[in-house]
Amino acid sequence: MADLPARPCPCLANLNQANSRLEVTDKPTVSSRPKSAAADEVEGPAFSSSLRVPQVSPLRPGIEAGAPGARIGVPGGRFLSVGAGRSPGFQPLRIASLQPSITLTLQRLGRLDDLVACTRYCVEAVPELAARNVTIVADSWSSTMDELLAVQPNLVLASVPYRMESLAAILRAGCPVLTLAPHSLADIFADIRLIGSVVHASDPAEVLVAEISSNIETVRAAAANCSLRPRVYCEEWGKPLIHSQPWVKELVEAAGGEFIGDPGKTTAPEAVAATDPDILIFAWCGAGDRVPLARVIEQRGWQSLRAVTEGRVYCIPDEFLNTPAHPLLDGLACLAAAIHPNSFPAHPRLISLSHSRKQT
């Protein structure tokens, strides 16, 4: 099996908030982060399909959106009225973002000025942060109380994966914490709207949601004119093999393909081979566009699969498929180009097996 990057990934944590406890498996951890268990194994209110709502820590009161400022629960039952410095009497927001998807959303909402701390992966995703006076902290997989206390945020925005020790440290810091756990495109849209509400950028949030939704529907309409629906295997992690997340399944279907397997669940090389996919897509968390396609095919004995013999094996940069934010539109463009190359333009970041071999 090819070596995997050490960097973990928040889509795949096993979060169990029953009795205010957090349990995380010891599997490696997604995009812009360290990797944990498959999404289908996740339990608790933040991940339940019927109760999938962004969660404020059980040790913090809730967040109430309202004018003129969002009211963020703080210890003792008090509320901090946050007005981003726009109205007298309101304390400016001081946000610590622990995942790139959140920072990317803040950028599109025009609220990077509210950011006082973020992760190094956030800086990779939003390079302009390098020139700002923003403190670099660890993500929600490895945050510590001391580093958060040092920047004195009045709101911590985080996303899965959450390691028990790190989440406990965040809570001990005494900051209001909003944790996000999207599964579907609808969840991602809801999270964008929630972030917009909290940072007083509801209108830009609606514009962003409309942009993403409109682009998806445009691709869906064009793909509907294609007579074939190729069967697509999408892989988010290679050791163990894990199918891509539910929102990737939705994107594959919008691009005119049929998603093979159960999104977010583990599988095995033999099980994938038995389905003989038309297309193989790899987007390993934290690997960027550096999945060693030829080596993976050889080590798994997949040389005779239809996708391989027909030259339809691709790597898509992991940030395009594993970041639950607007970069998914680039992922959709890559998927459409791979699934229906005669109907959609090529994408410059889509890497094929033949191209990968030429580079090695």
Q: State the amino acid at position 203 in one-letter form.
A: D
Identify whether residues 244 and 355 lie together within a single domain. yes
Identify whether residues 38 and 161 lie together within a single domain. yes
Does residue 312 form part of some domain?
A: yes
Does residue 221 form part of some domain?
A: no
Does residue 4 form part of some domain?
A: no
Instruction: Give all strands (DSSP E) within 296-356, no chain letters.
Output: 313-315, 351-352
Please report, in angstroms and rounded to a whole number, the separation of the first and last CA atoms in the chain: 18
Q: At 135, is the secondary structure helix, strand, or coil?
A: strand
Tokens encoding 63: 């967040």
Check pLDDT > 70 for residue 158.
Answer: yes
**Maximum average pLDDT range among 2-6, 29-33, 148-152, 280-284:** 280-284
User: In whole angstroms, what is the distance from residue 10 CA to residue 178 CA?
Assistant: 15
> Exposed/middle/buried for 360, CB within 10 Å: 0-12, 13-18, 19+?
exposed
Using the structure block, give the residue that is written with the tokens 């897509």.
281
Identify whether residues 23 and 138 lie together within a single domain. yes
Check pLDDT > 60 for residue 359.
Answer: no
Identify whether residues 234 and 128 lie together within a single domain. no
Does residue 1 form part of some domain?
A: no
Q: At 233, is the secondary structure helix, strand, or coil?
A: strand
Identify whether residues 36 and 81 lie together within a single domain. yes
Tokens encoding 198: 């909290």
User: In whole angstroms, what is the distance from residue 97 CA to residue 102 CA?
Assistant: 6
Q: What is the pLDDT of residue 139?
A: 86
> Exposed/middle/buried for 49, CB within 10 Å: 0-12, 13-18, 19+?
exposed
Query: What sign does the dihedral 107-158-213-351 (CA atoms) show?
Result: positive
| Residue 261 Cα distances to 10, 102, 239, 302, angstroms | 21, 29, 17, 17
Instruction: Identify which has the larger pLDDT, 31 or 123.
Output: 123
Check pLDDT > 80 for residue 49.
Answer: no
User: How many domains does the chain fold into?
Assistant: 2
8 A C-beta contact, residue 30 and residue 163: no
| Residue 22 Cα distances to 86, 180, 264, angstroms | 37, 15, 20
User: In whole angstroms, what is the distance from residue 8 CA to residue 234 CA?
Assistant: 18
> Which of 202, 217, 238 is the last residue in one of the domains?
202
Closest residue by Cα to residue 252 from 308, 316, 190, 193 = 316
- Taking only the tens place, the pLDDT of each residue in 236-282 is 999 999 999 999 999 999 999 999 999 999 999 999 999 999 999 99
Identify whether residues 186 and 238 lie together within a single domain. no
Check pLDDT > 70 for residue 356.
Answer: no
Identify whether residues 243 and 165 lie together within a single domain. no
Identify whether residues 197 and 231 lie together within a single domain. no
Using the structure block, give the residue that is written with the tokens 């003129």.
68
| Residue 191 Cα distances to 73, 183, 197, 199, angstroms | 18, 11, 10, 12
Calculate what percentage of the chain has a pLDDT beyond 90.
Answer: 62
Query: What sign does the dihedral 257-181-101-139 (CA atoms) show?
Result: negative
Whole domain around residue 80: which residue ranges?
Answer: 10-202
- Pairing of β 70-73 and β 79-82: antiparallel
8 A C-beta contact, residue 40 and residue 183: no
Query: Region 75-90: what's the mean pLDDT?
Result: 37
> Exposed/middle/buried for 74, CB within 10 Å: 0-12, 13-18, 19+?
middle
DSSP state of 183: -
Instruction: Identify which has the larger pLDDT, 56 or 128.
Output: 128
Identify whether residues 143 and 32 lie together within a single domain. yes
Does residue 50 form part of some domain?
A: yes
Identify whether residues 262 and 144 lie together within a single domain. no
Tokens encoding 90: 């309101």
Does residue 220 form part of some domain?
A: no
Q: What is the pLDDT of residue 355?
A: 61
Identify whether residues 166 and 85 lie together within a single domain. yes
User: In whole angstroms, what is the distance from residue 141 CA to residue 169 CA?
Assistant: 11
* Domain CATH number, residue 305: 3.40.50.1980
> Which of 185, 202, 219 is the last residue in one of the domains?
202
Identify whether residues 236 and 198 lie together within a single domain. no
Does residue 215 form part of some domain?
A: no
- Taking only the tens place, the pLDDT of each residue in 163-201 is 777 777 777 777 888 989 899 999 999 999 999 999 999
Using the structure block, give the residue that is written with the tokens 């090529």.
346
Mean pLDDT is lowest, of 53-67, 79-93, 218-232, 259-273, for 53-67
Angle, helices 246-254 vs 328-339, to 10°: value is: 50
User: In whole angstroms, what is the distance from residue 21 CA to residue 3 CA?
Assistant: 32
